[in-house]
Structure 1
């Protein structure tokens, strides 16, 4: 549905066929509403076989891909937008691929000096061929407990488990492989879970206030905790000492720059008792729902969401020249 406006004509892409379709649709609605309030003319649409003919016949000024999961974060849709010479908000395809593949992102940011939990990436085929029992024993012996098990590519904490006892590990691996061919198994770091979003500013990217994440007792920050009202308590800004908060902000900026991202990103961290931020992952298409973390950071910074989003659109439009 389009609306009249005096600003750029923006097409928001939301939906898709990933497990995160519902979150994408909600993110798209929120961003479209904010952009309209900031004077942009906005159309929202899904990703389907009619998308390319539509783009060719009625070209928007800028496209904002708000697609979560593989098609939205692995760079593929952005590759197509570049083929069509359409400017878009967000990272270029190669940078998306670096960030979306968690084992690759870990290596890149570790080389830049960030603390990364000890871990291993295990394809399902190797897990089967070497024998599940032997591999599980080696994981516990080498990495210890607790462990975090997650798909190497994916978002919204789908397929993610925290393993406290060896008996929980087989189920966690099965759940993880249900969402992807490769499992990333890491030593779970204890501490304060925070998300630090980065948005483009006039001269350089800036980190928004950290959002502290406190899931309900006995739960992890999984899909339901993220997108069900009351499932998680948030503290914005996070309850960190000033030095730790600065370190978390710098870690998010380092990840953003090192991975080659632009416009916006969100980095998830665990800040340990010594104040060291440990890198978990960076998202190139952060959730933008009413419960999402980047919008919470914008509110804590005193930013008007619509005007921040409009500036990102205008930056994308300026890149065309």
Structure 2
């Protein structure tokens, strides 16, 4: 495993920020952590990177235990945690030269490549303090990538980017994983982007990992249903139940049917109600999105 954490816990006095977290990320995988604000995502990233010590638990990155002074390990890791930082009076290129020196890189080739890859050419000689939020984010990503790491840990990598920039970062991370074998662990509030990008997803809630698995499995949790409304909801429900349908009352939509027969043949449901003298005023097959499945997991619905 590129990341192998077991029982990872961090407490601050009476506050448990991360509680008994077990996380394993395979080589070349894009793995996402989702969670509401305060769920423990950033604290987890900081423990994985050795920025803070866990209260208890074990964590290995790229096969090595995370410990102080592991310089050889961190030369293989790139990261962006919370807001990107830069020397404000230095230009984009000058900031990258500083990072390149710290990483032991020689020459300008790596800097030119990462500037082009993050589409920073237009502001390459602009001072960091004058950058837009989106370009400051690109600079942060460039600093994480300049030394061609084997592992990327990215906290909200698309923060501040416009839709074209978000799509560009998605494509870049896909290329890094597919072509270069880079492993990516990221967090994001953009659930639709996560569904397109990540192979696996973990959901954190109040420091607990409440769900983890393939992205397709989380998407599959979004349940299709037939929503029906009628002027006399009680009578409509009785008619449908007598025909063998499981019916739930929904304050917003009226009646909800989740049975496969109703979802596949809504016309039969309409015909049944019409013949019973309570024609439907609304009939629609709907399906929850990824956001709804996520909110159900963290109890925010």
Structure with the bigger percentage of strand: 2
**Which structure has the larger Rg over C-alpha atoms?**
2
The answer to whether TM tops 0.5 is no
TM-score (norm 1): 0.29
